[in-house]
């Protein structure tokens, strides 16, 4: 187990370096320089000074200086499109918001998703199955901007249950969290349903029922745990995406999170910001995937982590 | 004590019950889907024809934001254009985006998965680590960067509208093949270990023949399933790009574009509900039936598929 974790941790820097390089190349081939902007033209001197500051006269000088700065000091440098802000400042401000919102969304997604999926599996092929699956599928059948705006319109404008576009109180978190949770919820419900149907057809379920255990106890204690394994492996990428925020939810609910920067940095050709957000996302994804793999081995003792390296 | 029959206990492997339910889902999904595709394609001459009342860009200042009525079943949008015509053409384009993405996913995903799985060794390691790295990037970054990088150069070569469509198709397709490659590779790995491939090799069949006649046909099931599940994702990704304003070039419509337009028309004072309702309903119904179809096909064609690889 420890060898496995150490092995994976040792791979981290290598994968991060590759992702860094790839993002860098992608960000640089996009036409348009971040220093040339439409809204206001910089004077030649100002442009030169900015470029010198960033060692960005040529792509190779930038590539030579910038990684050293990131690795040695953990400093992504100044944002190229938000004047006076460094990438680190932006990340520092936005990440806690996204994480707290994402955590709540994840909790909602897991509880409701597993519940819906299990219910559908137990009532397989009947009304409840169709109903719960349809509800879950709506989460992935409508664009998230439509769902989020509808939630806002109904609960904030018409019912006045939640406030609009504010980010101060605990009640401000609920609506965006629900909107953010719909997508992972739908996937979790589908995964749980398929796995649960599989588990329910096992002999040990029949044995447990024949022994006289109550239906509820069989479902909760014997089946659900085993059915959750596929959900666990989906949780790695899902949690990474949820915790780093979503552009749509943040835009619709006016949340100062990280998700907006993923899109805005690309649209603004803000190379340092692109690299910053991608690095944060990759670190999240890799750590969560590692966590999921370790959790997998803890839940299911049959899984041999050493063997998983080979595949 | 009576055995409570409400816990379903089937024969191992899903049994008839699952398959029946699955086939009903397949039937429902494909019938609805076919109806929508037929409607969108059959009306193309009208939605693209300048003189038709359904023409997607025929503006009519006298009938702006009209409620649905008998002459204009879906109402009109804020430029007086027939919403029915725009929904129909938008559907054709949205479905084309999904289909193109699925095709690219099939071509790239199957060939890379096949090569990785069949060749094995360093090539497998290289290809699969590349897939891992691409998984590690937020997909939206790739789509936007790709679109921004190739849109302008291509627009200089061919007409801007065609360039926009081609880049849109390929940008979404290029982020959709990763799952397909993983699934195909896994399938090839398990196929390669099976006796009938060994027998074919022992019989002295050439590599290409084993490839084409024995491995490829066995991949058809999972490939169809994942292609079906790729289409709704691609359509949603296009709608997100339209929401950002970098999707389809206006005035061309897609369902996502119409939905985000409809959203702008939705305000608490005067609700132009039809501008949001119709594109969204069409979009949701199409995606639901595609998901139904894909899930159902998976239950039937691919019962051993590890659900974790969704």
Residue B10 pLDDT: 40
Q: Which among A11, A123, A141 is the top mutation candidate for probing chain B, defined by the most B β-carbons within 10 Å of its own β-carbon? A: A141
Average pLDDT over residues A213-224: 81
Could you tell me what percentage of chain A is helix, strand and coil, using 3-state DSSP and rounding each to the nearest 5?
A: 75, 0, 25
Rounded CA gap, A57 and A61, in Å?
7
Which pair of structure tokens corresponds to residue B116?
């990785």
Q: How far is A111 from chain B (nearest CA, A)?
A: 18
Q: Would you call A124 and B8 a contact, using CB atoms and an 8 Å cutoff?
A: yes
Q: Which among A120, A130, A146 is the top mutation candidate for probing chain B, defined by the most B β-carbons within 10 Å of its own β-carbon? A: A146
Characterise A137 by phi-psi region: left (phi > 0), alpha (psi -120 to 50), beta (else): alpha
Is there a contact between A195 and B307 (Cβ–Cβ < 8 Å)?
Answer: yes
- Among A138, A168, A137, which Cα is nearest to A151's? A138
Instruction: Give the structural domain span for B190.
Output: 18-43+81-301
Q: How far is A234 from chain B (nearest CA, A)?
A: 7
Picking from A163-177, A212-226, A297-311, which range would have the lowest pLDDT averaged per residue? A297-311
**B308 within domain boundaries:** no
Helix (H, G, I), strand (E, B) or coil at A86: strand
| A55-66 pLDDT per residue, tens | 666 667 776 677
Predicted model pTM: 0.81
Helix (H, G, I), strand (E, B) or coil at B76: strand
Rounded CA gap, B236 and A245, in Å?
18
What's the domain count of chain B?
1
Q: How far apart are the first and last CA of chain A?
A: 17
Rounded CA gap, A274 and A269, in Å?
8
Residue A32 pLDDT: 64
- Among A228, A128, A302, A292, which Cα is nearest to B307's? A228
**B37 within domain boundaries:** yes
Is there a contact between B222 and B302 (Cβ–Cβ < 8 Å)?
Answer: yes
Instruction: Give me the half-sphere count of Cα atoms (radius 13 Å) on the Cβ side of residue A84.
Output: 0
Residue A251 pLDDT: 84
Placement of tokens 């090569």 in the chain: B115
Residues for chain B: how many in total?
310
Residue B32 pLDDT: 92
Confidence band (pLDDT; 50, 70, 90) for A38?
low
Q: How far is B62 from chain A (nearest CA, A)?
A: 29
Is there a contact between A26 and A271 (Cβ–Cβ < 8 Å)?
Answer: no
What is the CATH number for B162? 1.10.3720.10
Helix (H, G, I), strand (E, B) or coil at B270: coil
**B27 within domain boundaries:** yes
As a whole number, the mean pLDDT across chain B is 80
Flag whether pLDDT at A282 surpasses 70: yes
Answer whether CATH 3.30.2390.10 is correct for domain A91-266.
Answer: no
**A263: closest chain B residue by CA:** B141
Q: Which among A183, A187, A266 is the top mutation candidate for probing chain B, defined by the most B β-carbons within 10 Å of its own β-carbon? A: A266
| B54-99 pLDDT per residue, tens | 777 777 777 777 777 777 777 777 777 888 888 889 899 999 999 9
A86 beta partners: A78
**B280: closest chain A residue by CA:** A142
Average pLDDT over residues B168-175: 86
| Phi, psi values for residue A86, rounded to 5° | -95, 155
The gap from C-alpha A11 to its chain's centroid, in whole angstroms, comes to 21
| B216-226 pLDDT per residue, tens | 888 887 888 88
Average pLDDT over residues B112-132: 87
Average pLDDT over residues B26-55: 85
Q: In whole angstroms, how large is the CA radius of gyration of chain A?
A: 24
> Do the interacting molecules here have an ipTM over 0.90?
no
Flag whether pLDDT at A291 surpasses 80: yes
Residue B302 pLDDT: 58
Is there a contact between B307 and A191 (Cβ–Cβ < 8 Å)?
Answer: yes
Helix (H, G, I), strand (E, B) or coil at B14: coil
As a whole number, the mean pLDDT across chain A is 80
With a CB cutoff of 8 Å and minimum separation 6, the contacts of B286 are B32, B33, B36, B91, B94, B95, B232, B235, B255
**B245: closest chain A residue by CA:** A267
**A231: closest chain B residue by CA:** B308
Q: Would you call A277 and B1 a contact, using CB atoms and an 8 Å cutoff?
A: no
**B12 within domain boundaries:** no
More confident residue, A39 or B178: B178
């Amino acid at each position: 187990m420890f060898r496995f974790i150490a092995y994976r941790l040792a791979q981290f820097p290598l994968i991060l370096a590759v992702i860094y390089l790839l993002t860098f190349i992608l960000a640089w081939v996009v036409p348009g320089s971040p220093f040339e902007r439409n809204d206001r033209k910089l004077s030649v001197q100002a442009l030169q000074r900015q470029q010198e500051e960033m060692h960005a006269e040529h792509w190779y000088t930038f590539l030579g200086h910038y990684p050293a700065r990131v690795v040695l000091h953990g400093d992504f440098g100044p944002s190229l499109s938000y004047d006076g802000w460094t990438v680190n400042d932006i990340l520092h401000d936005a990440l806690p918001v996204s994480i707290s919102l994402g955590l709540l969304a994840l909790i909602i997604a897991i509880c409701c998703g597993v519940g819906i999926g299990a219910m559908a599996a137990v009532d397989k092929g009947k009304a409840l199955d169709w109903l719960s699956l349809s509800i879950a599928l709506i989460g992935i059948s409508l664009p998230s901007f439509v769902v989020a705006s509808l939630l806002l319109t109904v609960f904030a404008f018409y019912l006045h249950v939640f406030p609009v576009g504010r980010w101060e109180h605990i009640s401000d978190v609920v609506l965006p969290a629900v909107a953010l949770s719909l997508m992972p919820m739908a996937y979790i419900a589908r995964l749980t349903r398929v796995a649960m149907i599989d588990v329910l057809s096992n002999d040990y379920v029949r044995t447990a029922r024949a022994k006289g255990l109550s239906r509820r106890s069989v479902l909760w204690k014997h089946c659900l745990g085993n059915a959750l394994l596929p959900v666990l492996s989906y949780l790695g990428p899902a949690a990474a995406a949820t915790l780093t925020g979503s552009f749509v939810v943040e835009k619709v609910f006016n949340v100062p999170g990280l998700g907006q920067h993923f899109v805005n940095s690309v649209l603004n050709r803000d190379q340092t910001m692109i690299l910053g957000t991608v690095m944060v996302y990759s670190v999240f994804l890799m750590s969560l995937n590692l966590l999921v793999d370790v959790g997998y081995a803890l839940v299911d003792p049959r899984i041999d982590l050493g063997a998983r390296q080979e595949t | 004590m009576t055995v409570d029959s409400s816990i379903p206990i089937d024969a191992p492997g899903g049994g008839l019950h699952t398959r029946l339910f699955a086939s009903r889902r397949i039937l429902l999904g494909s019938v609805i889907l076919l109806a929508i595709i037929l409607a969108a394609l059959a009306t193309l001459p009208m939605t693209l024809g300048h003189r038709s009342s359904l023409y997607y860009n025929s503006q009519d200042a006298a009938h702006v934001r009209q409620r649905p009525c008998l002459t204009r079943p879906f109402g009109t949008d804020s430029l007086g254009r027939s919403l029915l015509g725009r929904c129909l053409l938008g559907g054709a384009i949205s479905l084309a985006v999904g289909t193109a993405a699925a095709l690219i996913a099939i071509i790239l995903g199957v060939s890379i998965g096949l090569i990785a799985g069949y060749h094995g060794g360093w090539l497998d390691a290289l290809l699969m680590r590349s897939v891992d790295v691409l998984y590690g990037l937020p997909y939206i970054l790739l789509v936007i960067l790709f679109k921004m990088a190739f849109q302008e150069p291509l627009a200089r070569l061919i007409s801007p509208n065609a360039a926009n469509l081609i880049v849109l198709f390929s940008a979404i397709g290029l982020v959709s093949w990763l799952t397909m490659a993983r699934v195909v590779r896994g399938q090839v790995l398990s196929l390669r270990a099976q006796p009938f491939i060994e027998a074919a090799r022992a019989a002295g069949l050439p590599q290409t023949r084993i490839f084409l006649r024995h491995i490829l046909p066995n991949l058809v099931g999972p490939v169809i399933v994942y292609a079906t599940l790729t289409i709704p994702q691609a359509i949603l990704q296009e709608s997100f790009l339209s929401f950002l304003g970098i999707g389809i070039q206006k005035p061309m419509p897609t369902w996502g574009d119409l939905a985000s337009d409809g959203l702008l028309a939705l305000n608490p004072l005067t609700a132009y509900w039809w501008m949001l309702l119709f594109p969204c309903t069409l979009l949701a119904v199409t995606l639901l039936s595609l998901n139904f179809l894909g899930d159902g096909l998976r239950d039937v064609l691919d019962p051993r598929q590890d659900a974790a690889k969704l």
